[in-house]
Amino acid sequence: MSKLSPAEGSNPSASDLYWSFTKMSLQAFGGVLPLAERMIVGERQWLTKREFVEMLGISQTLPGPNIINLSLMLGDKFQGPRGAFAAVMGCLSFPILIVSALALFYQSVSDQPIAQGALRGMSAVSVGLVLAMGFRLLGTQKDFKVGWLAIACTVIGVGVFGLKLTMAILVFGLPTLLVRYWQIARKARQEAQ
């Protein structure tokens, strides 16, 4: 990141980063990002709204979960690799313990019909949540027609016909990327004229 000091004087230490991200991730059930904005821009004022949106944009572009990428980049910005490590561990350490405890608890009761039934119900809800996430993301694609085609092809190819991920990236991802680049370049040319 460029060397900028967003809100004057904010320079969180590694321990600040760790505990702030820990507190945030422990409050986050199903989606950490909305809480991240509230904490980073609102409460702690580590970034301005604009800086947050830019950093989020980059973290969405890079592979890996957005919140993980965002915490790494934010930590790195303030305290270098130590800060990145502290922030990402804040996101992960307690949640990993909790999710492991849940997994082990479930394993220990998994021969009980009640537990099996409960997990079955939770699973159905979970899939509904995944699909709803897909529909919410669709809303960001309104003016990108080629994008719709790529989405449809990916769903059918991967979801129904079991197309491999690498193939999906090559056949649907790369062409869409090139089309988008061409569209952006064309728009820039038109605006320049």
**111 binding other proteins? (CB under 8 A):** no
Q: Which residues, at least 6 apart from 103, have a Cβ–Cβ distance to it below 8 Å?
A: none
If binding is defined by CB under 8 A, does position 42 make contact with other proteins? no
The three-state secondary structure class of 164 is coil
Position among 39, 41, 47, 73 found at the interface with other proteins (CB under 8 A): 73
Torsion of Cα atoms, 72 then 77 then 81 then 87, to 10°: -40
- Pick the binder of other proteins from 8, 9, 61, 191 (CB under 8 A): 61
Site string for other proteins, 77-106 (x = CB under 8 A): ----x--x---x--xx-xxx-xxx-xxx-x
- What's the min distance (Å) between Cβ of 113 and other proteins? 7
CB-CB contact of 141 with 147 (8 Å)? yes
Query: Is the Cβ–Cβ distance between 54 and 39 less than 8 Å?
Result: no
Q: Does 148 bind other proteins (CB under 8 A)?
A: yes
- Among positions 10, 13, 62, 109, the unique one binding other proteins when judged by CB under 8 A: 62
Candidates 5-13, 27-35, 37-45; binding stretch for other proteins (CB under 8 A):
27-35
Q: Mask 117-146, x = binds other proteins (CB under 8 A)? A: xxxxxxxxxxxxxxxxxxxxxx-xx--x-x
Cα 100–Cα 94–Cα 78 angle in degrees, nearest 5: 140
Give min distance, CB of 79 to other proteins, in A.
12
Token representation of residue 121: 């119900």
Whole-angstrom CA distances from 148 to 18, 136, 138 are 40, 14, 9
